């Protein structure tokens, strides 16, 4: 069990450096994001006083760090299992659950924590995870139980041999009932947690068709040919029809109880050589939101 506290005496190697940089260099088992949070929680002190990230301690001063808040084990969650064998497990991820934690000790209940006891000979907070769904997205996720299975599945995703299909509710009705969107994506330099359409970005490609429209909303079937971060959300925004409940890319829209994007189908080859399609039924909330 790692120590729950850390004492750092400032010397010639750490003097004049920022407090957050010093702490990160001395607590390498933890993510920078988790350690930064400790400053907000008041768990980092400089000579007994609350420390700020930007403080630059003097020679001989002491930084005390209480690590206990980021050593907590994640809550136990139970996820619906769609399929399971000796190699893989397929779950129906609810909206609001993350795919994996953000750092070794910055834990939160996730798909990774749910499958942890089902994996073997793998370590780390992302053990078994071969692809991700955004926190706000629900639907089918496959995970590996051992390293051979993980490499086998990861290669299929890398080689673009996995077929993924999604359903979304979007604002408005797209001008074309079906289309093929090709729009490169790049991280937004002004807002790092967001991405944006930009010709200098990475190639991103999505096919869609509208299946129904009602009361200023449309149900759209989406098939991504690439797997860029936030791809479907950005491509629908790009054509003027953002996904309902997308707080990151449509913040001016009315408050919703979730983002209406669901991974309803995943087709790939299992280790036994059989091409298999896994499906997740559309959540009841989609129908309620569309017809209200």
* pLDDT, the chain, mean: 92
User: For the chain, what are the domain ranges?
Assistant: 5-70, 72-158, 160-292
- More confident site: 30 or 150: 150
Least confident of 30-34, 215-219, 222-226: 30-34
Contacts 24+ apart (CB under 8 A), 108-116: 108/74, 108/75, 109/74, 109/75, 109/76, 109/77, 110/74, 111/79, 111/141, 111/143, 112/143, 113/74, 113/76, 113/77, 114/77, 114/78, 114/79, 115/89, 115/91, 115/143, 115/145
- More confident site: 103 or 142: 142
Per-residue pLDDT band at 34 (split at 50, 70, 90) = confident
Give the C-alpha separation, 86 to 94, whole Å. Answer: 24
- More confident site: 49 or 72: 49
| Cβ atoms of 8 and 62 closer than 8 Å | yes
Per-residue pLDDT band at 2 (split at 50, 70, 90) = low
pLDDT the model gives residue 75: 67
Instruction: Taking residues 245-253, report their average pLDDT.
Output: 92
Output the pTM of the full model. Answer: 0.76
Query: Is-same-fold flag (72-158; 160-292)?
Result: yes
Pick the CATH number of 5-70 from 1.25.40.10, 3.10.290.10, 3.40.30.10, 3.40.50.300: 3.10.290.10
pLDDT the model gives residue 209: 97
Instruction: Taking residues 26-36, report their average pLDDT.
Output: 82
pLDDT for residue 194 is more than 70: yes
Could you tell me whether strands 81-84 and 88-93 are parallel, antiparallel, or unpaired per DSSP bridges?
A: antiparallel
pLDDT the model gives residue 98: 87
Task: Report pLDDT digits (tens) over 73-99.
Answer: 666 688 999 999 999 999 999 998 888
pLDDT for residue 145 is more than 70: yes
Can you identify the CATH homologous superfamily of domain 160-292? Answer: Pseudouridine synthase (3.30.2350.10)
pLDDT for residue 9 is more than 90: yes
Instruction: Taking residues 159-179, report their average pLDDT.
Output: 97
Give the active site residue among 134, 200, 212, 246. 134
What is the second-level CATH architecture of the domain 72-158?
A: 2-Layer Sandwich (3.30)
Known active-site residue 134: yes
Instruction: Taking residues 64-76, report their average pLDDT.
Output: 78
Task: Report pLDDT digits (tens) over 93-135.
Answer: 999 888 886 655 556 788 988 888 888 888 777 889 999 999 9
């Amino acid at each position: 069990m790692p120590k729950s506290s850390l004492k750092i005496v400032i010397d010639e190697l750490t003097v004049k450096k920022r407090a957050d940089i010093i702490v990160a260099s001395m607590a390498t088992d933890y993510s920078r994001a988790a350690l930064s949070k400790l400053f907000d929680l008041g768990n980092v002190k400089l000579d007994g006083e609350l420390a700020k990230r930007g403080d630059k301690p003097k020679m001989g001063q002491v930084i005390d760090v209480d690590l206990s808040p980021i050593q907590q084990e994640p809550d136990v969650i139970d996820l619906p299992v769609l399929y399971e064998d000796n190699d893989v497990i397929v779950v129906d991820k609810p909206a609001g659950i993350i795919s994996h934690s953000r750092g070794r000790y910055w834990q939160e209940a996730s798909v990774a924590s749910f499958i942890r006891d089902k994996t073997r000979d793998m370590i780390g907070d992302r053990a078994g995870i071969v692809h991700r769904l955004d926190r706000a997205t629900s639907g089918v996720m496959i995970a590996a139980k051992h390293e051979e299975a993980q490499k086998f599945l990861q290669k299929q995703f890398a080689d673009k041999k996995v077929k993924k299909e999604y359903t979304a509710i979007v604002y408005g009705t797209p001008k074309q009932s079906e289309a093929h969107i090709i729009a490169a994506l790049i991280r937004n330099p002004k807002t790092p947690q967001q991405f944006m359409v930009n010709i200098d970005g990475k190639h991103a490609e999505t096919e869609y068709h509208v299946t129904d429209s009602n009361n200023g909303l449309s149900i759209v079937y989406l098939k991504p040919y690439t797997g860029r971060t936030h791809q479907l959300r950005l491509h629908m925004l790009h054509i003027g029809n953002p996904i309902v409940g997308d707080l990151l890319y449509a913040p001016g829209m009315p408050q919703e109880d979730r983002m209406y994007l669901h991974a309803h189908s995943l087709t790939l080859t299992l280790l036994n050589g059989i091409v298999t399609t896994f499906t997740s039924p559309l959540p009841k909330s989609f129908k309620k939101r569309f017809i209200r």
